[in-house]
Structure 1
C-alpha cells in the first residue's frame, strides 16, 4: 500500500472489524473500509448486483469478464483474484486460462468491453440483447475503477489471501456489513452509478470538487498533478512509489487519495458513458 492512511487511517469500527476477522486483511478490504462514504458505499451498491444479481450473464461469466478487464489494466492482483473467482463461481463452465472455453456471447461482449475500456470513441455494439450489454457495462465499470486503484495503491496478494479472500467475496456476494459503511452523506439518486458520480465529484471532501473533476480529465489541474492523474487514467500499471513521493511534497495523503480516486472513477465513467450513449440510453 503506497498510502499509510489505507493501512492505519480507519475508523474505530473498521479497525475492530479488521482485527477480529483477519491477521492480515487484503489490501482491497482495507481500501474499501477507509472513508466508506467517499467511494465505497456507492461502489458496493453497484458491485453487488452487477456481479451477483439477476443477469443475462452467469456469475462465472461475470468473473471472467472482470478478469479480462484486469488483463487490460495489467493488474496482477485482480487477474489472479478473478481467475480464481471464475473457477469458484463458474463451477467449471469457463477455464479462465482459455478464452475460447467461453460461449460465443461471452467472447463477443468481452471484445466489446475491451474497446469500451481502451478506445471508448470507437465502440461498435455487439449483436446481443441491449439489457445484456447494459449489464456487462456495469461489470466493466466496477473493475475499470477497482483495477486502476489496485495498481495505483500497490495492492498485493499475500500468502493465503487468494483462497480465503475469493471465497469470502463469493460467499457474501460482494457485500459488507452495513455498520461498516454507515456515516457520511447519502447519494440522492436511485442509480448507484449516479451516486458514485455525485459522491466523488460533488460532495464536500478534503479537496475541492473542481480539483477532483480536473483529475478526472477536465481542465484546470495543477501542473504537479497532471502526469500523475494521466497515469491513473491511462496507464495505472506504470505508477510507482516515486510518483506518490513527488506528490507528498505538496499534498497530504488524504488529498492524494481523493485525487487518485477521482482520476480512476472519471476514466471509468468516460468509458461507461460512451457505451451507454451508443446504446441510446
Structure 2
C-alpha cells in the first residue's frame, strides 16, 4: 500500500491478530484495523447493517450492487472482490432487481450499500489496494463467512457519538471527533475547499480516485505525515460519499 502505516502501524492487538490469522491479510482489512476509532468502527457498523442486515435486497443483490459501484470507480481490487462475493452468494447479476422499481424503504437500503462502497472504493484507489496470491478467494470467503464482522476487541478504543443511525456515527467520527488534523481541514477536504497541496489531491479522491499515483502520495508525504494524509484522504472520500447520499435522501418519498 502507499502508506506504510496501513501495513505495519497497527496497535499490538491488531498486529497479533494479523500474525495469528494471516501474514498477508487483504489491504482493506489492514486499513480498517489501523486506528479503527477514527472511522473504521462506524464504517463497519454501517457495512454490517447495509450488507447483511434485514433488507428488501438479497445478499447476492447487495454484493452485485457493490460490484457495480466498484466498476464505476474503476477499483479493480473492489470489483474482483465483489464479483467473487456475488458468486459465493450464488447470485446471477442479471437477476438483480432495478432500484428505480423498488419501494421507498428498499431504495434507502440500496443507498446505504452505495454509501459504504463509495467510501471504500475511493480509499482503495487512493491507498493502492491490490489483491495478492489467492486473496480474491481466501479473503472473500472469510468476509462472506463472517458477514463483514470484525472481533470487537480489535475495534475497541475511543468513544462513539452514540447516534442510533450508523451514518451519523460515521459523520461524527470523521468530521467532529478529535484527530491528528484539525476539524477545519477535514471539513474543507470534504467540501473540496482546502488549500494546496490538498486541493488538487482531494479533488482526485472525490472525482477520479483511480487517477491517484504513488507520485501523488509521495508529494504529500514530503511535507506531511502519513497520519495527516490518511485522515485527509478519508475525509475527502467520506465527504464525497455523504454528499451523494444526503442528496439521494431528499429525493426518496
Are 2:152 and 1:178 aligned? yes
In the alignment, the residues of structure 1 paired with residue 221 and residue 152 of structure 2 have an alpha-carbon distance, to the nearest angstrom, of 33
Q: Give the corresponding residue for 1:236.
A: 209
Question: What secondary structure is seen at the aligned counterpart in 1 of 2:71?
Answer: helix
Counterpart for residue 249 of structure 2 = 276
TM-score normalised over the length of structure 2: 0.98
Once the two structures are TM-superposed, the CA of residue 235 in structure 1 deviates from its matched residue by: 0.3
Q: Secondary structure at the match of 1:279?
A: coil
Quote the Cα distance in structure 2 between the aligned partners of 1:190 and 1:260. 26
Matches within 5 A, 1:218-229: 219=193, 221-229=194-202
- Give TM-score, length-normalised by structure 1: 0.88
Q: Which residue of 1 aligns with 2:231?
A: 258
Q: Is the contact made by 2:192 and 2:236 (CA closer than 8 Å) also made in structure 1?
A: no
Partners of 1:136 and 1:236 in 2: CA distance: 22
Partner Cα separation in structure 1 for residue 38 and residue 120 of structure 2: 14
Alignment of 1:106-121 (within 5 A): 106=97, 108-109=98-99
Rounded to whole Å, the distance in 2 between the matches of 1:3 and 1:23 is 18
Partner deviation per Cα, 1:166-194 (whole Å, 9 max, x = no partner): 11001001000000000012122111100
The match for 1:19 is 19
Deviations 1:137-188 (A, max 9, x none): 0000000000000000000000011111111001001000000000012122
Instruction: Trace 1:137-148 onto structure 2 (pairs within 5 A).
Output: 137-148=111-122
**Within the alignment, does 1:188 sit opposite 2:186 as a pair?**
no
In the alignment, the residues of structure 2 paired with residue 24 and residue 176 of structure 1 have an alpha-carbon distance, to the nearest angstrom, of: 17
2:192–2:203 Cα contact (<8 Å) kept: no
Structure 1 unaligned blocks of 5 or more: 96-100, 110-125
Give the superposition deviation at 1:223: 1.6
Unaligned segments of structure 2, at least 5 residues? none
Aligned residues: 253
RMSD: 1.0
